[in-house]
């Protein structure tokens, strides 16, 4: 596997290194030892699949509040998608910055999303399936989000939005100052930032 850093601290694209022969190819998509060499020491404990029927479907921007330290490995199993992450760690040098990466089932690449990031994606083809591997069990009481088109982030989505959940469309404007204050307060209560 090849780990390609993004401009956001701690986030990287994971590219498989297929071994091909007359049958096709074989490639490792996850290896705990190789991730540990990249500084990712939490094991993946849960995986989920998101099926999206239409191109332009948008999901996000979702994140977990402290004390959750959920990191994700996101891969496009079928189709093609534009995957976006936003660094929401107030002490990070890339706080409030975002990066977008195209993931598709032909290249088999993935995006590693560190804890403390918001995540969302838009499908670029019909019947796009997205596989998530996560380092923490889902905690609905810690679920939060930011609006996909919030001016605080300035994300340029590639397609008009065709389908979106009401909650993703109606999150209020993101208040970075209030968020940072709450985040740092939660850290002061005993949660550790990575």
Residue tagged active-site, from 98, 112, 132, 179: 132
Residue tagged active-site, from 30, 62, 138, 171: 62
- List strands edge to edge, sheet with 2-5: 2-5, 12-15, 110-113, 72-78, 128-134, 46-52
Task: With CA atoms as reference, report the closest residue to 73 among 87, 83, 88.
Answer: 83
Pull the structure tokens for residue 60.
Answer: 């996000």
Residue 78's alpha-carbon distances to 114, 118, 121, 130, in angstroms, are: 23, 23, 14, 7
What single-letter DSSP state applies at residue 72? E
Gap between the Cα atoms of 162 and 123, Å rounded: 10
Establish whether 62 is a catalytic residue.
yes
- Indicate the burial class of 130 (C-beta count within 10 angstroms; 0-12, 13-18, 19 or more): buried
Task: Point out the residues that are catalytic.
Answer: 62, 132
């Amino acid at each position: 596997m090849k780990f390609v850093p993004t401009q956001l601290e701690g986030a990287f694209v994971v590219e498989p290194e297929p071994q091909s022969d007359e049958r096709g190819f074989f490639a490792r998509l996850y290896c705990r030892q190789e991730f540990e060499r990249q500084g990712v020491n939490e094991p993946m404990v849960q995986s989920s699949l998101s099926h999206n029927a239409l191109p332009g479907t948008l999901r996000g921007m979702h994140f977990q509040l402290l004390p959750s330290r959920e990191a994700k490995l996101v891969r496009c199993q079928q189709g093609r998608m534009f995957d976006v992450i936003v660094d929401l760690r107030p002490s990070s040098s890339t706080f409030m910055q975002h990066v977008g990466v195209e993931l598709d089932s032909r290249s088999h690449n993935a995006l590693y999303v560190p804890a403390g990031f918001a995540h969302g994606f838009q499908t670029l083809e019909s019947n796009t399936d997205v596989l998530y591997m996560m380092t923490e069990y889902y905690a609905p009481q810690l679920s939060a989000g930011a609006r996909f088109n919030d001016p605080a982030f300035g994300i340029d989505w590639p397609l008009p939005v065709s389908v979106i959940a009401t909650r993703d469309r109606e999150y209020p404007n993101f208040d970075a100052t209030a968020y940072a204050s709450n985040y740092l307060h939660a850290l002061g209560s005993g949660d550790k930032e990575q």
